[in-house]
Amino acid sequence: MRKKLKNKIIALAILTSIIIIAVVFISKSKTQNTKVDENNKFFNAEKGDLPVLIVQTGQLKASQSYKIKAPIIPGISRDLKLEWIVSEGSKVKKDEVIAKLDREPIQQDIDNLTAELESEKALLSIEKENFKIQESQNILNLNTAKINLENSGNELKKYNTLELPTQINEFEVKTNAAKIKYEEAQKNLKNLQQQAESQLFVESSQEADTKKKVEDAKKIVENAKTLLESTELEYKIFKRYTSPEQLGNKMTAYEKAKMDLERTKVTSGSSIIQIQERIRQKERTIKDKETKSKKSKEYLEQLILKALVDGLVIYKDVDLPYWRASTDEMKEGKIVRPGEVIITIPDLSAYEVSVEIGEESRSKLKEKMDGTIKIEAIPDLILHGTIKTISNLARSSAAWDPSSPKVYDIIFTLGDCNEEMKPGMSAKVEILIEKLKDVLYIPIEAVYESEDEKYCYVKTSAGPEKRIIKAGKSNDSFIVIIDGLKKGETVYLFNPIKKD
């Protein structure tokens, strides 16, 4: 890796020589500015190539980072407690455990679900047994109802075909017998009456005897008549009331048996459906709780955080701006929010540099422009980079102060990297905007401006001479002089005629 870097440095040495010279001049100029020795603050106008640079300090970061977050668990909105975390800066392997969150709340949920599952499964077994019992009971009830219907039908048929005709026949026989008896009694009375009328009685006892016989015959007739009328009335009552009532009872019993059978079919089906629905509900409840238990176990595993790749452990979200980052130390016992980044594992095989540039420099830059990067912690390392992205919108340099200067965020991709490089290191970026060829230039602090003209003070034998000049482009330290000054002329780096 080092040999490759050295070759790269040699290849870039010629290209960066002008930039290095400019940096030297900048450094020298700043050193002179810090000294209040006016006798030595002079500069001889130089002619040569002048690089126009934008120099800015940024931060080194991995091109790609893998963020390990506290899991977002549905139904659990509470914060999570960090039970253990690997030391920051540790090198870890893929799938290695790097942090553990409090598992007790979810474990309690799993234990509760397990107990509920056991209870629901026991209730399901009872319902299935109830189903078997109800099926047997339904078969028994249906068979009983069918037998009752069959018996009722047989009773109705028996009544219509046997009992009713028999009873009618008995009444008819009884009525006919009463009629015959009545007719015979009438006939006998008539005979006795005729005999009494035609017979001559010798003795009074004979007459009395005959009269007695006639009276007895009359009583027999009356009794026979009463019996006949009673039999006929009983027959009428049977035909008008008793027989219809008996038939109605038989028919009602038959219809009731039919309804009982239908009711038994309905209630049997309903009872089965009710038990089946309870079984389905139990099965759904069990399935739901099994799903919840399975997910809870998965969530339990998510509370053990593992490295997604091989790499270096860095606490929190390294890409989060400092004004949004939490100041709380990431340590055991810390409460973290669901979704909060706990650890960042950067991919150390590729790096970027993020820098901020002011509004005045934005128009000078565009994507794919090259720059030179120096890592402050590795002073001998010089890298080449390219602008990857420039933010479209400016933002306040101080997030809490909208009136602070506006800046744009720029990302540089590095063409190479070094194993000593680590995310978070400070990096100095120098962007060559333009190289002015064979120009005359002096330090910026030697030039003054008044109304619409620029001037400087030139050292002459007669003393300081105010010289009107025409200035051109500039960089951070030097400005091009188009007219009014010659190479080698000495200019003051302070105002020599300024009164104390």
**DSSP string over 193-256:** HHHHHHPPPSSHHHHHHHHHHHHHHHHHHHHHHHHHHHHHHHHHHIIIIIHHHHHHHHHHHHHH
Position 13 scores a pLDDT of: 38
d(CA 344, CA 353): 17
pLDDT surpasses 80 at 2: no
Determine phi and psi for 146, rounding to 5 degrees: -65, -40
pLDDT surpasses 50 at 17: no
What b/e readout covers 354-378, taking b as 16+ CB neighbours within 10 angstroms?
bbbbeeeebeebeeebebbbbbeeb
The burial class, CB within 10 Å (0-12 / 13-18 / 19+), for 431 is buried
Q: What is the model's pTM?
A: 0.52
- Please give the mean pLDDT across all residues of the chain: 85
Position 407 scores a pLDDT of: 93
Output the six-digit token pair for 283: 């099965």
Position 485 scores a pLDDT of: 96
Average the pLDDT over each of 16-20, 65-69, 186-190, 446-450 and give the range with the smallest value.
16-20
Output the six-digit token pair for 433: 């905007």
**353-400 pLDDT per residue, tens:** 999 998 888 888 999 999 999 999 999 999 999 999 999 999 988 878
Position 195 scores a pLDDT of: 80
Position 326 scores a pLDDT of: 63
* Share of residues in the chain with pLDDT > 70 (%): 89
